[in-house]
Amino acid sequence: MENGNSTPAKAEVLLSIQGLSKRFDDTLAVDNVSLDIHKGEIFALLGGSGSGKSTLLRMLAGFEAPNAGRVLLDGEDVTAMPPYLRPTNMMFQSYALFPHMTVEQNIAMGLKQDKLPKNEIRNRVEAMLTLVKMESFAKRKPQQLSGGQQQRVALARSLAKQPKLLLLDEPMGALDKKLRTEMQLELVEILEQVGATCLMVTHDQEEAMTMASRIAIMAQGRIAQVGSPVDIYESPNSRMTAEFIGSVNIFEASIREDESDSITLESAALDAPVFIDRGVSTPAESTATLVALRPEKVYLSSEKPAGDTNWSRGTVDNIAYLGDISCYYVKLASGQRVQATMANVERRGERPTWGDTVYVSWEASSPILLWN
Amino acid sequence: MARKPTRSPLMERVRAVLFHRRVVFGIPFLWLLLFFLLPFALVLKISFSSAVMAIPPYQPVFSFVDNTVSVVVNFSNYLFLMSDSLYIAAYWGSVKIAFVSTLVCLLIGYPMAYAMARASARIQLVLLLMVMLPSWTSFLIRVYAWMGILGNQGLLNNLLLWLGIISEPLKMLNTNVAVVLGIAYAYLPFMVLPIYTNLVKLDVRLLEAASDLGCRSLTTFWTITLPLSKAGIIAGSMLVFIPAVGEFVIPELLGGPDTLMIGKVLWEEFFNNRDWPVASSLAIVMLALLLIPIVLFHRLQTREMEKDG
């Protein structure tokens, strides 16, 4: 799994979405979306409900016709192609297994439409059953299977025709949490084994980050940011993405000194100035900005940190003990609350408690500047 | 120290619920017993009797004379039914006409139900009302209307004559075709409604999945929609076929001299010949004949449920 590595520069574009829009009555569900999906990658469309991600997926499958824009698949314009001709296959959130057919017949359904010879179909179905480890369930009906087993069958059915592009609609949506983590890794393994290019839609950021090599954040019908999980988490380009993925502390600040290799800012919420040890391109017209800090990059100490930048004083307002980590909420003098997480490395170690006066501090590389 | 058995409030509640449940289930059972099982028992009893000129016009099956209860079970009516080819022909004729009518109903009703299930929610309500609306007028009047349409001087013949398609009136009324038409018309809602209820529940995502896997609309219909609406088709067919076999009014009014249906024969035995025992045994045999498809259907259904469960 190349999770975290940015995709190679020479990656071949398989699916090209160009200015796609879809209007339902008065609402623009998908608003001028352009996106390139590379051959062999697992790409996740991440967004809340109503973000337009499912509508986009349904347009790619051919179930909805776009009002504007084009879809190119492997160089071919498929915008107006009906679903039954498209070289894409979809795994539905509810799996949509045919209840009157056995597992075998479900998987063979797509192959039969291609008028393949009988023994070829049989071989392909067998190979698919082996791939998803469901060989012993071939003769069962879908309702005799558990949720996880149904998902395997749905996956096998959508992979059987060796689609150029596999579409996954909330692939883990119908599974319980424990099974979900297990299946995420197994699904990625299977997809890599067959070398499928895959576009998945999910509202679960953990799922997107575990499975996908690239993620697009969708909100209000638009793509807010595209990038690898690391890019999206460590370099969000807007307050929306920063807040959507993980937790974040955000302070209003203004630029005091803007050098080519560093930047110093002042924030009314913090006791000391913020110093960032890298150059940031700033828009000329305004000095106002937002400083974002991830909670795991905020340290807590009872003594005042060395140096006169990147710290602030406050009192512990609340603590959430989560086992592996503890989450501290520190109330600053300015009244703003800062969230800091600490790994519980020591068993029952000395840790700040409610009402303690503490200092929050961070590395000069940690803060992110956001402009909106 | 033994604990004194107390009646807990929970137990009281449970008892009350069980009592209410018994009442709720009991009422329909009582209804069936009074108005279905009892009349059936009477008919069964009369079918084992023999006809006499008296009131009532049959010999008692049970009698109490000289301190002896005697039960006279007379099978001659049933043997008589076997020996006279008229009755067998009438049964066969009923089954044939009912079968053809059911088929006609299915061919007209399925597309209707399909269109209704696919229509928008508001249109669905209107269509549903239109299917049921004719049943609000008298059944007899609607059958008479068909006499007006199909008669030699009827609407249809006049229209065809006026259009110049035919030069002399077609004989449509008083034929088996008219009977089939009448039955199909009268029982169409019973075919449409179960199929509609079934199709409306069909998950559209299954159709999308089929389309996604390469099925064109017609293939999707044959491989997904039709097999999944099997229960609706069977239920609708039963609801049409069973009453159609015993139908009396429609063959009487629309049928001709060669329309031989068991309902008519039964009527004649009962009212014209005043042979209650033979009429009763005819009814019992008809019931037995109808029970066969019902039992088969039920067995099929339970087997399928066991298989899926």
Alpha carbon dihedral B294, B238, B225, A133, in 10-degree steps, equals -10
Give A156's contacts in chain B (Cβ within 8 Å): none
Q: Sign of the C-alpha dihedral, residues B276, B282, B288, B293?
A: negative
Burial string for B105-115 (b: 16+ CB within 10 Å, else e) reads: bbeebbebbbe
pLDDT in tens, A31-41: 999 999 999 99
**Residue B26 corresponds to which amino acid?**
G
Residue reference for tokens 């190119």: A72
Higher per-residue confidence, A82 vs A173 = A82
pLDDT score of B69 more than 70: yes
Q: What are phi and psi of A367, to 5 degrees?
A: -65, 150
Other Cβ atoms less than 10 A from the Cβ of B93: the count is: 21
Q: In this complex, do B213 and A157 lie within 8 Å of one another by their Cβ atoms?
A: yes
Q: How many CB pairs under 8 A join A and B?
A: 63
User: Which of B49-63, B159-173, B205-219 has the weakest average pLDDT?
Assistant: B49-63
Q: How far is A145 from chain B (nearest CA, A)?
A: 10
Q: In this complex, do A98 and B203 lie within 8 Å of one another by their Cβ atoms?
A: no
Decide: A107 and A121 in contact? Cβ < 8 Å.
no
Whether chain A has a CB inside 8 Å of the CB on B209: the answer is yes
Give B213's contacts in chain A (Cβ within 8 Å): 84, 89, 109-110, 113, 157, 161
pLDDT score of A2 more than 50: no
**C-beta contacts of B58-64 below 8 A and 24+ residues apart:** B58/B276, B58/B277
Provide CB contacts within 8 A for A190, sequence distance 6+. Answer: A131, A132, A155, A159
Decide: A61 and A86 in contact? Cβ < 8 Å.
yes
Q: How confident is the model at residue B16 (pLDDT cuts 50, 70, 90)?
A: confident
Whether chain B has a CB inside 8 Å of the CB on A150: the answer is no
* Mean pLDDT score, B279-303: 86
Q: Looking at chain B from residue 290 to 309, which residues have their Cβ under 8 Å from any Cβ of chain A?
A: 307-308
Decide: B159 and B203 in contact? Cβ < 8 Å.
no
Residue in chain A lying closest to B204 (CA):
A96
Whether chain A has a CB inside 8 Å of the CB on B4: the answer is no
Cα within 13 Å of Cα(B233), Cβ side: 14
Residue in chain A lying closest to B230 (CA):
A100
pLDDT in tens, A114-133: 999 999 999 999 999 999 99
Q: Helix B121-132 and helix B85-118: axis angle, to 10°?
A: 160
Cα within 13 Å of Cα(A243), Cβ side: 12
Q: In this complex, do B208 and A63 lie within 8 Å of one another by their Cβ atoms?
A: yes
Give Cα separations from A128 to A131, A263, B53 (angstroms): 5, 56, 79
What is the predicted pLDDT for the residue at B7? 67
Whether chain B has a CB inside 8 Å of the CB on A90: the answer is yes
Whether chain B has a CB inside 8 Å of the CB on A143: the answer is yes
* Mean pLDDT score, B227-234: 92
Whether chain B has a CB inside 8 Å of the CB on A131: the answer is no
Q: Collapse the DSSP code of B246 into the 3-class scheme (helix H, G, I; strand E, B; otherwise coil) and give the result.
A: coil
* Mean pLDDT score, B64-78: 87
Q: How far is A317 from chain B (nearest CA, A)?
A: 47
What is the predicted pLDDT for the residue at B135? 86
How many residues are present in chain B? 309
Burial string for B39-63 (b: 16+ CB within 10 Å, else e) reads: eeeebebbbbbbbeeeeebbbebee
Give B208's contacts in chain A (Cβ within 8 Å): 61, 63, 83, 92, 96
Whether chain B has a CB inside 8 Å of the CB on A65: the answer is no
Q: In this complex, do B211 and A83 lie within 8 Å of one another by their Cβ atoms?
A: yes
Q: Say what percent of chain A tops pLDDT 70.
A: 97
Question: ipTM of the predicted structure?
Answer: 0.85
Whether chain A has a CB inside 8 Å of the CB on B206: the answer is yes
Whether chain A has a CB inside 8 Å of the CB on B214: the answer is yes
**pTM listed for this prediction:** 0.82
pLDDT in tens, A281-319: 777 677 788 999 999 999 999 889 988 999 999 999 999
**Residue A164 corresponds to which amino acid?**
K
Q: What are the sequence ranges of the domains in chain A?
A: 13-242, 247-370
Residue in chain A lying closest to B214 (CA):
A84
What is the predicted pLDDT for the residue at B48? 92
Yes or no: is domain A247-370 CATH 2.40.50.140? yes
Going by the DSSP 8-state scheme, the letter that residue B136 receives in this structure is G
Q: How far is B197 from chain A (nearest CA, A)?
A: 18
Q: What are phi and psi of B13, to 5 degrees?
A: -60, -45
Of B277, B295, B304, which Cα lies nearest the Cα of B44?
Answer: B277
Q: In this complex, do A96 and B205 lie within 8 Å of one another by their Cβ atoms?
A: yes
Give B209's contacts in chain A (Cβ within 8 Å): 90, 92, 96-98
Q: How far is B193 from chain A (nearest CA, A)?
A: 22
Higher per-residue confidence, B23 vs B159 = B159
What is the predicted pLDDT for the residue at B8? 77
What is the predicted pLDDT for the residue at B144? 93
Q: Looking at chain B from residue 9 to 68, which residues have their Cβ under 8 Å from any Cβ of chain A?
A: none
Give B210's contacts in chain A (Cβ within 8 Å): 98, 109
Q: Collapse the DSSP code of A269 into the 3-class scheme (helix H, G, I; strand E, B; otherwise coil) and give the result.
A: coil
What's the CA angle centered on B111, arms B106 and B114, to 5 degrees? 115
Q: Looking at chain A from residue 99 to 118, which residues have their Cβ under 8 Å from any Cβ of chain B?
A: 99-100, 109-110, 113-114
What is the predicted pLDDT for the residue at A80? 94
Please state which architecture CATH assigns to domain A13-242: 3-Layer(aba) Sandwich (3.40)
Give the pairing of strands A165-169 and A197-202. parallel
What is the predicted pLDDT for the residue at B6? 61
Domains and CATH numbers, chain B: 15-21+23-71 (no CATH), 84-274 (1.10.3720.10)
Q: Looking at chain B from residue 223 to 252, which residues have their Cβ under 8 Å from any Cβ of chain A?
A: 223-224, 227-228
Provide CB contacts within 8 A for A26, sequence distance 6+. Answer: none
Whether chain A has a CB inside 8 Å of the CB on B124: the answer is no
User: Which of A236-240, B3-7, B109-113 has the weakest average pLDDT?
Assistant: B3-7
Q: How confident is the model at residue A7 (pLDDT cuts 50, 70, 90)?
A: very low
Per-chain mean pLDDT for chain A = 91
